[in-house]
Structure 1
Amino acid sequence: MSCRVCRGPLRPSGRGRRPVYCSRACQARAYRSRRHPPVPAPAAPEPAGRRRQIGEAVWRIAAERGLQMATVREIAAEAGVSPRVVQYHFTDKHHLLVTALQMLHRENERRAQERIAALRDASDPRVLLRATLEELLPLDEQRRTSLRVMTAYYARSLTDPALAAVFLHEGSPLEDLVAALITAAGARPSIDVAREADLLVGGVTGFGLDLLHRRRTRADVRRTVDYHLNRILAEQP
């Protein structure tokens, strides 16, 4: 027999139970280890796609039930993982929510670029202008879900500076892009291109929410967009 802690030799006992520790020090170490068991080493990192899987779960919860329902337990259940896996990849729930929003922004940009690049007349500034504006509208399931998630996040960002920072870029990149496309497409001399770009982006964003609520139809929105484009663009020769 040897000590359970240090594996050293045991001193024989003259009476009672046989000893299992060689000294009081080893006995104290054993007691502390029972009260505070060592933390196991972390398992091998999950595949890189696990963060994406968890982020998509946040999107679905936000779109279907609202961001207030996105607890760590609910997110884990939606993603099909344990809460420990969620906590392994994200320092806390707030970090997860911010990261999921950043992921959604990147996903929207990637999909928009793919759709615009696939256009037959992608080199025509007027075609690019219309396509850029239509990316703000929920014209398919992916964009409908994305807009619902963005709306849930936007409401929360009004009281959360970290989420607000994801929405509030320095400058106005989308409005600047639309202004450049208006100019390239042939703006009428009498208009203020920057103001018209602001109006188009803000107006079409609002139309997207109307489409979600079915307050307007796609045909109605497209007629209104056509009206404004015809108003600000010079007639083609």
Structure 2
Amino acid sequence: MRDESGASCRVCRAPLPTATRGRPPVYCSRACQARAYRRRKNPPPAAEPDPPAGRPSRRLEIVEALWRIAAERGLEAASMREIAAEAGVSLRVVQYHFDGKHQLLVTALRLLHRDGERRARARIEAVADPSDLRALLRVILTEFLPLDDRSRTTLRVLLAYYVRSLTDPALAAVFLHGGRPLEDLVAGIVGQAQREGKAAPGLDPRHEADLLVGGVSGLGMDVLHGRRTVAEVRRTVDYHLDRIFTVPAASRTPAGTSQEVHLGVRQASRQ
């Protein structure tokens, strides 16, 4: 028989049975009573106040700890406990901000891409002459190279994700997006340069983009291993760009839409 007073379980809010003797019940079952006990014994950490100006949020600190571990030891070493220790917080704090390791891995990957896109946009916008498609393409390609500590860490983390994605289908679904935006971007610049008479007319922009993006990505890994220097890779990039952007005088046509292409590149880098 149920209590008609409207009282409900403190855990699941189900109606409570009528008390036959003693104090009225507050839980509908022993299972709910056990859940309430566990909550009292292990309460979730209190919500943190906003961080001071200039200091990253606790969530970002945890993500950056994951990046450091992945860059130094690979994702296999990035257990939740190791991440908590690297971030200088308790395991419960990590679990408060992230439901599980998969969510943490996905969030860290997306933030890594967002950080890389932000830095790439800054470099692209710093190109002095928007009509200089060769300079614009050179800036985009050199983003694949470990030019400083930040980009070196980014490349190492992406390589760690690539290795993990080979055996983790759920992570691969996030890591491997459906399109090829970088190849599309490079192909678009080469095609526009051809239309403006600034690139050899007989080239296939798609094949050139595949070669450039794939080649510079591989050369960037050589730089990480110390097999090549950044200066050597830059010379290789310049060699291929000279091949693309050297055209006979008779094939040249007046430029007119490079500014539009520059704006399109900035928009594409935001996607």
Q: Give the Cα separation in 2 of the matches to 1:131 and 1:201.
A: 12
Q: 2:96 aligns with which of 72, 88, 92?
A: 88
1:78 and 2:86 are equivalent in the alignment:
yes
Structure 1 length-normalised TM: 0.81
2:207 aligned with 1:195: yes
* 148-157 or 227-236, which deviates more: 227-236
Partner Cα distance (1:87, 1:168) in 2: 26
SS of 2:106's partner is: helix
1:38-70 CA-to-partner distances (Å, cap 9, x unmatched) read: 614645433482211111110000001211110
Say whether residues 1:145 and 2:153 are aligned partners.
yes
In the TM superposition, residue 149 of structure 1 has moved relative to its aligned partner by 0.5
SS at match of 1:178: helix
Measured in 2, the distance between the counterparts of 1:171 and 1:118 equals 27
How far apart in 2 are the matches of 1:35 and 1:140?
Answer: 50
From the CA coordinates, give the structure whose radius of gyration is larger: 1
- Using the TM superposition, give the Cα deviation of residue 187 of structure 1 relative to its aligned residue in structure 2, in angstroms: 2.3
Identity of aligned residues (%): 62
Structure 1 residue 166, shift from structure 2 partner: 2.6
Residue identity in the other structure for 1:188: A
**Relative to 1, partners in 2 of residues 1:220 and 1:34: Cα closer, same or farther, differing over 3 Å?**
closer
1:172 Cα deviation (Å)? 1.1
Does the Cα contact within 8 Å between 1:144 and 1:212 map onto a contact in 2? yes
TM-score of the two chains, using structure 2 as the length reference: 0.72
- d(CA) in 2 for partners of 1:35, 1:233: 69
Check conservation: 2:45, 2:92, Cα contact below 8 A. no
2:64 to 56, 59, 68: 56
The answer to whether the Cα contact below 8 Å between 1:98 and 1:162 also exists between their aligned partners in 2 is no
- What are structure 1's unaligned runs of at least 5 residues? 1-22
User: Does the aligned pair in 2 maintain the 1:116–1:131 contact within 8 Å?
Assistant: yes
Partner of 1:231: 243
Deviations 1:193-227 (A, max 9, x none): 11010000000000000000010112211111111
Matched residues in 2 for 1:115 and 1:35: separation? 53
Query: Structure 2: 5+ residue runs without aligned partners?
Result: 1-19, 52-56, 250-271
